[in-house]
Each structure stands twice: as C-alpha cells, then as structure tokens.
C-alpha cells in the first residue's frame, strides 16, 4: 500500500523505506540542498526547505499497479494539499530498475510517462473540472485529477544536457495550480520569479532554455509540452495525452 510522507518524518526514520526508496529520497535531498548549484525551481526549493512537499513511491511503470497507485496517491493528496503549505507539491519517486535505465532513451521514458498519465486519468472518479478545457491544444488546459489541476513535471535518468530534468529514477513533481496563481506575467512577483528561474536554468543546464517554457494561459502556450521536456529543443508533433480515448477503452472493456 502506497502512502504519503513528509520530509521531517523520513529524516527521523527512513527505515520504513525500501533500499531504492531511501536512495531516491537521499538523492532528492542532495539535489534540493545543493547551494553551489541551486535547483532552478525556486518555489519547489522553498517548498522543500519549509516541509511543504509530500513524498511517495510507486512501482515500476511496466507493471499494472503503477497507474492505480498514482491514482490513489493523487486522490489522497487532493484532500490534504492545501493544509501542507503555500509551496505544496507531491513528489512521486518511481521504481526504475537498472535494466530499464540502461535500455531507455529520453524518448522511451517520454512514452512511459504519457502512458502512466493516460492510464491514471482513466481511473479518475470525478468529472473533469468545468473551468479547464479537455482539449490539451487550448492554452488553459492542464492535467487534472480528482477535481484538482496540476503542473505535472517529470525527470528521468536519461536526461544529460538538461540536468533540471535529470534524476536517478523516474520522478514526478505534481504542483497544484493554486500554488502557481501568483507566478504569471501580470504580477511583478511573477515576472521577477521567471527571471530568477531562467538565470538559474542557464547555469544549471548545458542545453538552452526549452522553447516550450511559456506562461500558463498565454496564447501560444501548451502546458503538456512543458511537463516532459526532451534533452534537446524538440517538441512532440502531437499531444500524447488521450484521456477521452482512455475513458472509452475502459468503458468498452
């Protein structure tokens, strides 16, 4: 059974975790605590420092349980996220055995990521929020589950040039939209934050800032393109998210 953890409880007693889980959590601490090379996402780093983040672990994406586990986690998280702090996010570490790491490219992990997000969406017990378009080619679309909308970041072991998207195992950072409401181009806070994050990205990655990184709601913005950034500057020719197809397949089965 999967469950949510906070940083302080895991720091006090990590013995509740399996070996790969301990390694993943330790790597995350190292990444978020590095002062010489600070992680570019300032809200995420602040959430880590202030214990606003929640953590969990799910099985290898090649198993049938991963989507079910993620769906259960997101349902549970939606009921408590607003109580965890202003800079809330759900960090999900995914078991990534060595054979998968050695045999997979960034594009392979991209396919696994979108397969997981599609399968998880098909398990949603709630209707898609009325204020969020269901078509990902609209500029205010974003991933929704259990009535909450999220920025659904993914990191993989295969990323090299884009270290901001590298992690020893597959990792998701699911940030509720309400956390990011002030981070937009209509506020001085948002503009300053964007500038600071971009300056950090230039130092953190050897790849240039990805062209998909734009403001939520901008006319030329598509959120799905930002969730999984490739190690180069390319973008998939079409959106890999097919929630409606997943729901149809579930009903037909």
- How many domains does one find in the chain? 1
Name 205's Cβ contacts closer than 8 Å, sequence gap at least 6.
161, 162, 163, 164
Rounded to whole angstroms, how far apart are CA atoms 19 and 62? Answer: 20
**Tens of pLDDT, residue by residue, the chain (253 residues):** 789 999 999 999 999 999 999 999 999 999 999 999 999 999 999 999 999 999 999 999 998 899 999 999 999 999 999 999 999 999 999 999 999 999 999 999 999 999 999 999 999 999 999 999 999 999 999 999 999 999 999 999 999 999 999 999 999 999 999 998 877 667 788 788 889 999 999 999 999 999 999 988 888 999 999 999 999 999 999 999 986 544 444 444 4
Name 34's Cβ contacts closer than 8 Å, sequence gap at least 6.
none
Name 10's Cβ contacts closer than 8 Å, sequence gap at least 6.
16, 17, 25, 55
The parent domain of residue 58 ranges over 5-252
CA distances from 147 to 87, 123, 205, 247 (A): 19, 13, 34, 16
Cβ atoms of residues 214 and 229 within 8 Å: no
């Amino acid at each position: 059974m999967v469950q949510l953890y906070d940083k302080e409880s895991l720091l006090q007693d990590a013995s509740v975790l399996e070996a790969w889980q301990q390694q993943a959590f330790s790597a995350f601490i190292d990444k978020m605590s590095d002062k010489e090379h600070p992680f570019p996402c300032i809200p995420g780093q602040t959430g880590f420092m202030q214990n606003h983040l929640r953590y969990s672990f799910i099985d290898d994406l090649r198993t049938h349980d991963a989507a079910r586990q993620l769906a259960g986690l997101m349902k549970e998280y939606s009921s408590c996220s607003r109580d965890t702090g202003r800079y809330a996010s759900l960090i999900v570490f995914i078991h990534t055995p060595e054979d998968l790491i050695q045999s997979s490219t960034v594009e392979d992990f991209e396919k696994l990521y979108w397969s997981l997000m599609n399968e998880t969406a098909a398990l949603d017990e709630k209707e898609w929020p009325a204020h969020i378009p269901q078509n990902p080619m609209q500029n205010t679309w974003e991933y929704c589950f259990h009535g909450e909308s999220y920025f659904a970041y993914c990191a993989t072991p295969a990323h090299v040039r884009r270290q901001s998207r590298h992690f020893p195992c597959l990792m998701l950072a699911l940030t509720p939209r309400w956390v990011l409401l002030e981070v937009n181009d209509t506020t001085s806070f948002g503009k300053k934050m964007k500038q600071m994050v971009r300056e950090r990205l230039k130092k953190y990655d050897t790849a240039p800032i990805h062209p998909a990184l734009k403001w939520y709601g901008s006319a030329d913005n598509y959120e799905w393109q930002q969730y999984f950034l490739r190690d180069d500057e390319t973008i998939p020719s079409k959106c890999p998210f097919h929630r409606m197809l997943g729901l149809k397949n579930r009903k037909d089965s």
